Amino acid sequence: MKIPYYPGCTLHERARDFDDSARECAMALGVELEELPVWTCCGAVYPLVTDSVMDILAGVRNLSYASRLGDKVVTLCSFCYNVLKRCNNVMRDDAEKREKVNLFLRADTESREKIESYTLEDYEGQLEVLHYIEMLRDVVGYDKVASAVTKRLEGLKVAPYYGCMLLRPKKEMKFDDPEQPTIFENLLEVLGCDVVDFPMKTECCGGFQVVNDEELAVSCSQNIVVSALKREADIIVTTCPLCRYNLDRHQERMAERVDGFTSVPVIYFTQLLGVALGIDKEHLDFTDNSVDPINVLAEKSLL
């Protein structure tokens, strides 16, 4: 089964480990992620001002490309998922903006024809924008994931960290409950993990504010990591490259600020899924982590 896949700029560059592990896992589950032949950055942030049209253009352009391949598009990065889903909602529900954006798409096509044959079609919000976890649950099925598990992650205490962008705003994202989500926990249970519930699982990691104010992001991330540690998590899993960066890269600084701090590895959920599916660790690429996850996984005889 082929499903159109939008990787986004970060998975194409600094989060190759996320992209690679997701593709390997999908293949093991009988799904081929078909990368869009043409795509651009989605813009990373959905504009919250009501008169913004230009700012959703990048997102819609990608949706238009994806609509040529099928009726769904799958993505992994929480920011991309948020932007694509909200752009899709606008194109489906707001006739005035839809018309304006489609005028841009047509102008885009006219100016591009000379350099590539890929034309942009008018877009009406017809796609179903899925997060990879939703694909596992609704397209593949958690029961099929369960039967593909070759190494149950028994005894591994895993804290699922959602962050903000998958969940909020609830009425648009319709991903799960914004305060008490369970979709991630349900997946981890299928893999045999000992799921750790912790109160900061939907709290913001500081996000892109790290770029302007690193201390701010360290404080936000510290609250999350310490909360997971208090519940004795062996490992934290995330769905977002920026969350991974904030939670993982700043642990030395957290250790300076918090008495008795012990470091905890932070990995992508697809890397953990890969371990459970018996995929070779070389393909799961644990090389970009500041806090090495190999030891923890090896201690539990999982690698």
Partner 1 sequence: MKLRLTADMLVDEVLERVETLSGQKLRACYQCGRCSAGCPVVEEMDIIPSEVIRLLQLGQVDEVLSSKTIWICASCLQCASRCPKGVEFSSICDALRAIVLRTRLATPKIDADGLTRVMMSDAPQMGVVGALRKLNG
Residues interacting with partner 1, by CB under 8 A? 8-10, 13-15, 41, 43-45, 47-51, 55, 77, 79-80, 164, 167-170, 178-179, 202-204, 206-214, 216, 219-220, 223, 241-242, 245, 249
Question: Could you give the angle at which helices 214-230 and 241-249 cross, rounded to 10 degrees?
Answer: 80
Helix ranges restricted to H, 113-213: 132-134, 142-148, 170-173, 183-190, 209-212
170 vs 230 by CB, closer to partner 1: 170
Would you say 130 or 167 has its CB closer to partner 1? 167
55-93 exposure pattern, b = at least 16 Cβ within 10 A, e = fewer: bbbbbbbbbbbbbebeebbbbbbbbbbbbbbbbbbbbee
Q: Provide the minimum distance between the beta carbon of 281 and partner 1 in the complex, in angstroms, as a whole number.
A: 23
Contacts of residue 269, defined as CB under 8 A and 6 or more positions apart, other chains included, come to 133, 160, 184, 187, 237, 238, 239
Select 10 or 67, whichever has its Cβ closest to partner 1. 10
Q: Which amino acid does the sequence have at 30?
A: G
In angstroms, give the least distance from the CB of 18 to partner 1.
10
CB of 23 to partner 1, least distance (A): 18
Task: Please report how close the Cβ of residue 77 comes to partner 1 at its closest, in angstroms.
Answer: 7
How far apart are CB 11 and partner 1 at their closest, in Å? Answer: 9
- Shortest Cβ distance from residue 167 to partner 1 (Å)? 8
Q: What is the dihedral of CA 97, 102, 107, 112, to 10 degrees?
A: 130
Report the Cα 102 to chain-centroid distance in Å: 28
CB of 54 to partner 1, least distance (A): 9
Runs of H (alpha helix) within 29-168: 54-67, 78-93, 95-112, 132-134, 142-148
Kindly tell me which of 50 and 262 has the beta carbon lying closer to partner 1. Answer: 50
Burial environment of residue 34 by CB neighbours within 10 A (0 to 12, 13 to 18, 19 or more): middle
Between 109 and 219, CB nearer to partner 1: 219
The whole-angstrom separation of Cα 279 and Cα 258 is 36
